[in-house]
Amino acid sequence: MTARAAGGASTGPFGALREQLLGAAEEFAGEPRGLPDILAGLVDDVDRALREELEIFPVCHHSPASALAMARRLREKQPQVIYLELCEDLRPLLDELRNCRLPVALQAFASELDGFPQDQAPLSVVAPITEASAEYQAIAYALDTPDVELVLVDRSSDHVFQWEPLDRPDESPVRASEDEEDGALHGDAVGIEIGDLRPGFTELEEHLLRHGKVRHWSEWWDQYVEQPLTGADHDTYRQVMVLIGSLFRRLRPGGDRRLATDEDRERYMWTRIRDHLASSGADPSRCLHVCGAFHAASRVEQFGLRSTASFDIAPRTATRWQYGLIPSSHSAIEAQFGLAPGSVSIAATTWEKALKRTRDKPFRLAGQRGTRKTAAPKPPALAPSAPVADRLSGFLSNAPAPDGLDEAELLGWCVDIVRLARRNGYLSSTADAIAVFETSILLAGLRGRARPTPYDFQDAAITCIEKDSVPGRRDVRRLCEILLGGDRIGQVGYEALPPLAKDVFDRLRPLGLALDKRQIQRALLDFATEPDLEPCSDLLWVLRRLLPDDAVRPIMGSHRLGERPIQESWDLAIGRNQRYLVELGYEGVTVEQVLEQRLRKSVHNPKATAATALEAVEESLLYLRSRRFTNELGARAVELLSTERTVDDAPEVLRRVRRLLTHYRATEPALPRWCENFVTTGYAHYCTLLPTAFTADDTGVRQVAAMLGFLVSLESLAISLGCDHTQLELAVKQSHPEDPAKVALLWAAESQLGLLPLADLRQRCDELLDNPMLVGAFPQYLSGFVQALDAVPSLSPLVVELLSKAFARLPDTILLPWLPRLITTLKDQAAEMLPVLIREADRTFPATLPAVDTWTPPWTPSPKPPEPQRAAPTNTAIATFLATHHEPVSAIATLLGHDPSWPNPAETTTTAPSPKVGSLLRAHPETAEAAAALIAP
């Protein structure tokens, strides 16, 4: 069946256009297959949308042409009910827009999920609102016009995540500059806007950009749709927008996941519209349905008021959603929806120019910042609706009349960009302004345009001014965006803030600063002269803990246990980070309540550890000062420690529990009960795990050293609380490590417990240096000894000695590769031990360089002093000695072959030896002298 037969008789207002398109398709398509169906379908979609009983007003997001057409139609029709394509649960926020400065974003936020994956929390939906948008015109008209009802009919925020996969990135991109930070005002929230008109077919978009001689989609839309429709009448605007929406819809690839979601949204909206009309009894002729042009060309069976097809709307999950307004900006909207940089700012400028040219009066909310109240429109005289006339044929066949060159506007741009470039470091001059002017006209002519567009001017400025370098932080492209409208940033007014944000502003009022401004402001707090500022200081430290780092930054002063500064200095940028403050308001009424909830949630997280709980205890002491809550967190820390099966966090546990014990000993008469339980539980827990940790390959040396530090340094307290010292001795004796570093740790523990004397430990280390088979592993042993200093600080002299011996005796093949590892170990794992080693080395080594030459290490054994020379004994003394002790001499004489004969003491009184012995002694006096020296006292 051909497209002509399928379409039936060419009747209706668009019959001639349909025939014309089909004829062109048959003439140029060769073998007509899909093209005639598509072209006829476009006309059918337009005809169907315009024949609908409920008037459909198609729009495109942040389009000045849509905003102007909306303002004109609202004044002409003055509907009593407006059905707006926006999340239905955002309706209460619209009344607070009058307290804000646009652009702002409506936000739905959920941190505690029920029905969604917990690892995706928090969930966030934002809907930006700018003044140059059709949705704002409809909102302002409905809120400021009596007896007008505004009904949001799109899916709820909960359904947004029910229908779309949660594939958001885990981390937000890091932004380096202030301009990029403004583009991140929405964070990783899901964006919702009315009328996202962009081809879903990549090849189609590339074709349009190439033949339109433009760089990106925003420029194509501004050149070929936005500018021609700015002054179009209502019928022409509607027909063209529906035609574009139908074209993009029919050329979207089949099986597209987004198309299925969009069709469900259309079923949802028409179901809500019919339900509201049935319950309210409103006259459809006095109603208006504002939706994206893509949805206006819908072909779902639920389309239209006369449809009887039903659609089952799934109930919302039990997730608790919070709602509020957050600041937005032009760059944030561009980043959120993939628009070209500066396109929203250019649209805002186009909106202002169009208002001046057409003298149309837009709708603005009464009392809104920077706006003036507009007079309410007079009720129109109800006239019968005119029949639909074909405006597409004329619009498609005749090119729009081009605007002439506005030389004054272009000259103003050129002069201003040169002035702005000079301020940002460029060496620009009047000649550059002339060059930019001529180049803009040249580029417009090459691209077939009668007048240069802002994009032509931007390209010309980059070519003529930037050249090949950027001297400052902003390039010429960014300067053009600032010149053509700037990155306008909205602000949420005080009355529209959640209670938490209001409480913060009220409590910080004594500082005397305008905290709603985006500039960084310096706050000086002198507690000696103004003690009333101490509550402000406490609040600032809590905000420092909860907000991003650049929101509240201390310049002078610290906040640690046991410290209270006399003065503080702060850099405050709360106005710039208003979004984060608003999101805190979704979690509680005060910042202290939010912090308490977060700390409780962190310690009850399935991945929480004892170190996490101790950190929460410390933060509770610093920020909340609630004894009950602190004890609750401490009890949770004891519970977590007793159930841990690894010792990965042992260093962190040791560091934090020491600091907490020091704090309590200095401020409390007795330790809290949870502290005592933590020490006793930790002592028994680490004694049990110590033998396994010594031998486990996945347990590092630092973790074992921290366990020993806990057991040794807190042993006296643990024993006083009922623990047994035998537990530690048994654990050490049952440990049999093989890793050299852990062996050194074990030796240090045995030395501390008295199981290994220091002399034996030194002897073992010397044997390691002397053993060629083990000397290669000596650096690992030394690393273990360095780690053990926390548990056994008395070993610091031995460690200095071993380091000195290692540098003196290790060969270069072992010493040089080991040095980087030693430095890394000391820096990363034993940084707190370096002062101990340095003090010990300072005590051991000489203080001056000349003294090094004559210095002897204390561990080197000193040589024995020489024996004093004894005077040679006289013959009489020798004779008397030998007469008393003659056995050595007799033995020597026997060895020499002589007959030792001694006189009978009864026969003579002389002590002289016999002639033979005397002659022997005279010949060999050294023997007698040596024997005398050995035997004499």
306-329: pLDDT as tens digits: 888 888 888 888 888 888 888 888
pLDDT, residue 639, reads 93
Return all residues near 176 (Cβ < 8 A) that are at least 6 apart: none
- CA within 13 Å, CB half, 537: 21
Side by side, the strands of the sheet bearing 104-110 are 190-191, 123-129, 104-110, 322-327
Q: How far apart are CA 253 and CA 551, in angstroms?
A: 45
pLDDT, residue 906, reads 52
User: What would the two tokens of residue 495 be?
Assistant: 């009355």
SS3 label, residue 786: helix
pLDDT, residue 905, reads 55
pLDDT, residue 776, reads 76
Q: How far apart are CA 329 and CA 181, in angstroms?
A: 10
Return all residues near 259 (Cβ < 8 A) that are at least 6 apart: 200, 249, 252
The residue type of 91 is R
In this structure, are strands 104-110 and 322-327 parallel, antiparallel, or unpaired? antiparallel
- 0.95 surpassed by pTM: no
pLDDT, residue 177, reads 45
Give the end-to-end CA distance of the chain in Å, rounded to a whole number.
138
SS3 label, residue 129: strand
Closest CA to 457 of 407, 404, 413: 413
Q: What is the mean pLDDT of each run of 10 residues along the chain (937 residues)?
A: 42 59 52 60 80 89 88 90 91 89 87 80 86 90 91 89 63 42 61 65 73 77 79 84 83 72 88 91 90 86 86 88 87 80 81 83 80 54 56 61 68 88 87 90 82 84 82 82 76 87 91 86 89 90 90 88 86 88 87 92 91 93 90 93 90 92 90 93 92 89 91 91 90 90 90 88 84 79 84 86 82 81 71 77 82 78 59 56 70 70 56 55 67 57
Q: How far is CA 665 from CA 562, 611, 658, 661, 712, in A?
A: 11, 20, 11, 6, 19
pLDDT, residue 193, reads 63
pLDDT, residue 293, reads 85
- In sequence order, what are the beta bridge partners of 329? 489
Closest CA to 680 of 641, 631, 645: 641
SS3 label, residue 905: coil
Closest CA to 472 of 517, 437, 422: 422
User: What would the two tokens of residue 531 be?
Assistant: 């003690």
Q: How far is CA 259 from CA 40, 268, 337, 493, in A?
A: 21, 14, 17, 38
Residue tagged 């928090």 (tokens): 122
Q: How many residues does the chain have?
A: 937
Report the Cα 418 to chain-centroid distance in Å.
38
Beta carbons of 918 and 912 less than 8 angstroms apart: yes
Number of H-type helices and E-type strands within the chain: 42, 13
pLDDT, residue 610, reads 93
- In sequence order, what are the beta bridge partners of 127? 106
SS3 label, residue 463: helix
User: What would the two tokens of residue 430 be?
Assistant: 């009047």
Q: How far apart are CA 583 and CA 586, in angstroms?
A: 5
pLDDT, residue 675, reads 93
> What pLDDT, in 10s, does the model give residues 593-615?
999 999 999 999 889 999 999 99
